[in-house]
Amino acid sequence: MELTIPDMSLVVLIGASGSGKSTFAAKHFTPTQVLSSDFFRGLVSDDENDQAASRDAFDALHYVAAKRLRAGLVTVVDATNVQKEGRAQLIRLAREHDVLPVAVVLDIPERDCVERNAARPDRDFGARVVRRHVSELRRSLPHLAREGFRRVHHLRGQEQVDAAVFVRERLRNDLRDRTGPFDVIGDVHGCRAELEELLAELGYAVERDAEGRAVGAAHPLGRTAVFVGDLVDRGPDTPGVLRLVMGMVGAGTALCVSGNHEFKLVKALREDKVTIRHGLAETLEQLRAAGPEFTAEVRRFCDGLLAHYVLDGGALVVAHAGLPEHYHGRASGRVRGFALYGDTTGETDEYGLPVRYPWAEEYRGRAMVLYGHTPVPEVEWVNGTLCLDTGCVFGGKLTALRYPEREIVDVPAHETHYEPTRPLRPARAARQLALTDVLGKRVVETGLLGNVTVREDRAAAALEVMSRFATDPRWLLYLPPTMAPTETSALPGLLEHPAEAFAGYAGRDVREVVCEEKHMGSRAVLLATKDDSVGPRRFGIEGDGALHTRTGRPFFDDATGGELLLRARSAIAAAGLWDELGTDWLLLDAELMPWNAKATGLITSTYAATGAAATASLPAAVSALDAAAARGLDVSALLDRTSARSANAFAYRDAYRRYCAPVSGVDDIRIAPFQVLAAEGSTFHTRPHPWHLEIADRLRAADPLFTLTRHRLVDVTDPASVADGVAWWEELTAAGGEGMVVKPAANQIGTGRGLVQPGVKVRGPEYLRIIYGPDYQRHLDVLRVRNVAHKRSLALREYALGIEALSRVAAGEALWRVHECVFAVLAMESEPIDPRL
């Protein structure tokens, strides 16, 4: 006997003590799926037969069942469940979680149950209890369906129990195996001519019958149209729309969910009580003219429509009025009601219409939700959801979304077919971020490194920086990762040397690396837009883009930032990158110079103050010691040490001064881009680094605002190539350069435990004087005792988070999904790190 149970269901076993429910459950379900009342009695009392513990046991059982049902897991309750009150609690639990309750009755003869209990030493309650159970079961059987069980499987006798086989059945709304591509079409409302026009625009060939009526449509590339409901009412040709859509659905070239207008139409055709308004009268009149046979087909079609579909592995949900994540794929009256009508605040507006609850503002689901129901003049993405009802019947547009391309296609209404009760107006500005998106311990899923955990205290530390100082989060798409240093060098006078970097990559089977000049400036992320329309349309904010630091702070609070963005926009256009990359925005990783353009306060308060004090006091001390030595005092050791410290102080001052220059305007600023991060629909972390540097060269040719990043390719398996790379580093650092960054030439390599460091820094001795102090070389033995493992782990986690943010941006995911990763990078930066790194 095949017993079907839905994928998401609460299975309630019903039977007298001794009917074999536990054996039956163990045969057909996994141990984690079965919640046994005996087991829970044991949990709360250490005695599975302690009936006095039943209340606490069932409290615990219901709690665990609720957690499983919330997760959408099949859950089996193994208890007698012969009393209506106990079953009512379970049915209520299923309804609370919008899953289907299924009853499985093990109807075993009383004598068999008594014999089984008699053979068990732990069952000493006698035949009286079994007799009562059987009596209660008999009284319950006729009423199980009325109690709320959606399916009742009644197994009569042991033979049927032994023959039972369970078959998991997907819910009808579960079309996760349908991967598209799809063309999701908004509310049509009887606008047949506009629908035919939109289908043609989407590439569908419309099929016609002998009378020239549209009766179907198919796409030559096998795309599937998906209608969000409200095909009927208000418009001039509801039968024409239905004839076309019914033909497409019947031929398998379209899917359709029910709208609230189809639901009301079915009630009207059944002659149920329904208020005839909002265009229903016109539809009924049009259907009468189409004839009773067609009207009967319409009734069957609309009555069979589901409230929502889950498509493409769960990545896409289509529902007429939208659907919060906890309803996706579930089946209940509450889910259907929300999908058809949405939710209201209980208020009415000035037109007497209900005020819709803005569920999309709080949506945090992974699936894209496409819907209609509430007409808007223009479509707008809100947290991965999109309303496609652009009021065609009211004189607006008929709109579709190509999925997965996320391309909007629309056609204008031929005329205003129906005057709206209230004028079309934009949806109110959506609150796309919330504190709950970032507060507390967070686990962020990344494609490169799996789950990355952000501790609660780190998130709290980042919150102040992000909320008080960072640029508007709508522009904040990426923060660069920290960079780990190379392994420590043992060479005299050096803390870092390229040999260790080359050997490290060779040990990870990376043959070719690129050595890039390490600019001494401020790390910058530049988001440029093609024109003024891109910001509001793509990012929901006015402006030309953003230029921010590695902690998300704007570089400039005056007109300088705007001038730089406009010049960057023009340079990208002159380099032909807008068209070449197929984008209207571009995100670049770069260095902004000179150092003091951003770091003037830091230089003045820290480096310049130290340098000024040291270069003023130490020469005077040397002079005094020289005078003392001239008088015959033995101060030679102190004089040598002080003279060395004085020389180091001047070297320290020269080191930081080398990276400073006068800045009076935009012409004194230089930007050195070294990586193209993302564009519309694309990320570039798998493009080899020479490609990125070639793009940087083209930008420099277009505008001197951009400067070169000098580089060398090194084969780490070739001693001559390695020697050339070392010599180039020595040349850079001897001239006062900061050093270089060594990266795999292929860019991103590996995932998970195989993820290779995206780059390591190899800094020169004079630059390190700025970091560690004028006399740091006297303390090299202490500085060399450093463990780079934690820094490298941090660098990889931040890198994975950054790439994940870029991937989500390029895919057009909701702002909160992008911000989750960006915020996590900033939180990671508050982790304590060995200061010697």
Least confidently predicted of 124-138, 317-331, 800-814: 124-138
CB 833 within 8 A of CB 794: yes
* Dihedral sign computed on CA atoms, order 124, 125, 131, 135: negative
Residue from 400, 554, 388, 529 nearest 466 by CA: 554
Burial state string for 36-73 with b = 16 or more CB within 10 A and e = fewer than 16: bbbbbbbebbeebeeeebbeebbebbbeebeebbeebb
- The DSSP H or E segment spanning 336 is helix 333-341
pLDDT of 837: 64
388 vs 377: CA distance, rounded Å: 10
pLDDT of 356: 74
Q: Is 644 exposed, middle or buried (0-12, 13-18, 19+ CB in 10 A)?
A: middle
pLDDT of 812: 85
Residues 28-38 have pLDDT tens digits of 999 999 999 99
Band of residue 814 on the pLDDT scale cut at 50, 70, 90: confident
Average pLDDT score over residue span 571-598: 95
Average pLDDT score over residue span 626-655: 92
416 vs 23: CA distance, rounded Å: 67
Residues 357-381 have pLDDT tens digits of 789 988 999 899 999 999 999 998 9
82 vs 106: CA distance, rounded Å: 11
pLDDT of 836: 62
374 vs 722: CA distance, rounded Å: 65
pLDDT of 431: 59
Residues 62-80 have pLDDT tens digits of 999 999 999 999 999 999 9
Average pLDDT score over residue span 214-228: 98
- For the cut 90, the answer to whether the pLDDT of residue 448 exceeds it is yes
pLDDT of 357: 78
Band of residue 426 on the pLDDT scale cut at 50, 70, 90: low
pLDDT of 427: 57
pLDDT of 813: 87
- For the cut 80, the answer to whether the pLDDT of residue 347 exceeds it is no
Residues 176-194 have pLDDT tens digits of 999 999 999 999 999 999 9
Average pLDDT score over residue span 457-482: 90
Residue type, 344: T
Residues 241-253 have pLDDT tens digits of 999 999 999 999 9
CB 397 within 8 A of CB 381: no
CA angle centred on 738, ends 737 and 744, rounded to 5°: 110
Band of residue 104 on the pLDDT scale cut at 50, 70, 90: very high
Residues 509-519 have pLDDT tens digits of 999 999 999 99
**Which pair of tokens denotes residue 337?**
């009601």
Compute the mean pLDDT over every residue in the chain, rounded to the nearest whole number.
93
pLDDT of 352: 66
pLDDT of 48: 87
CB 619 within 8 A of CB 646: yes
pLDDT of 307: 97
pLDDT of 597: 87
Residue from 413, 411, 399, 405 nearest 184 by CA: 399
